[in-house]
Amino acid sequence: MKFIKFALAGAAAAGLAVAAITTVPTFAKEATVMVGGAPMFPSKNIVQNAVNSKDHTTLVAAVKAADLVDTLSGKGPFTVFAPTNDAFAKLPAGTVDTLLKPENKRQLTQVLTYHVVPGRVTAGDLMELVKKGDGKALLKTVAGDKLTVEVKDGAIWVWDAKGDAARITIKNVIQSNGVIHVIDTVLLPS
């Protein structure tokens, strides 16, 4: 009788284990990175993920105001250097509000596309480009201007045309249509 009880208990435990395995949420199967308190799913595109990050609400509002949602939801691939809300807050007072006005859409688009590089460029790729470039790498943005990448003290830095630097704080946030690198400063074209 004891054997039957143990066998039944073992079968029940095995059944529960199988049920638990089969009810694992989809995101647990993907190698996600947490950004702004939300998992970034490699199966979703740049916009689908960015809208969930509490740290990127300003960037998302700017992308919407510039009518770039369809572009950044497209096939790509794109590499996006994504400034956080804190990065936008470093800009002079009123800058973001001014850029978000409909009459400044062209300027806003230029600033946003300055943060986008064609192709999927991972942190490893950036480091390799820097190594090949004797300590610096130049990247041509979708806006047509250049960004300079350097590695200092183990961190990857991106320099804009004005000489300001943004540090990559979260790298290799893989998307279905590219990759995002979170940065701590807004990059500005010349």
Give a yes or no: residue 149 inside a domain. yes
Is the pLDDT at 135 greater than 80? The verdict is: yes
Give a yes or no: residue 45 inside a domain. yes
Give a yes or no: residue 15 inside a domain. no
pLDDT in tens, 71-94: 999 999 999 999 999 999 999 999
Give a yes or no: residue 133 inside a domain. yes
- What is the number of structural domains in the chain? 1
- C-alpha–C-alpha distance, residues 102 and 98, integer Å: 9
SS3 call for 143:
coil
SS3 call for 48:
helix
Q: What is the pTM of this model?
A: 0.84
Intra-chain end-to-end CA distance of the chain, in Å:
83
pLDDT in tens, 150-186: 999 999 999 999 999 999 999 999 999 999 999 999 9
Give a yes or no: residue 59 inside a domain. yes
CATH of the domain at 92: 2.30.180.10
- Which helix (H) or strand (E) segment is 11 a member of? helix 2-22
Is the pLDDT at 17 greater than 50? The verdict is: no
- Residue-number span of the structural domain to which 80 is assigned: 30-183
Is the pLDDT at 31 greater than 90? The verdict is: no
Task: Starting at the earlier edge strand, list the strands of the sheet with 155-159.
Answer: 116-118, 78-83, 178-183, 165-175, 155-159, 146-152, 137-140
Using the 8-state DSSP alphabet, how is residue 31 labeled? -
Give a yes or no: residue 9 inside a domain. no
Give a yes or no: residue 41 inside a domain. yes
- C-alpha–C-alpha distance, residues 112 and 168, integer Å: 17
| The pLDDT value given to residue 103 | 97
Give a yes or no: residue 14 inside a domain. no
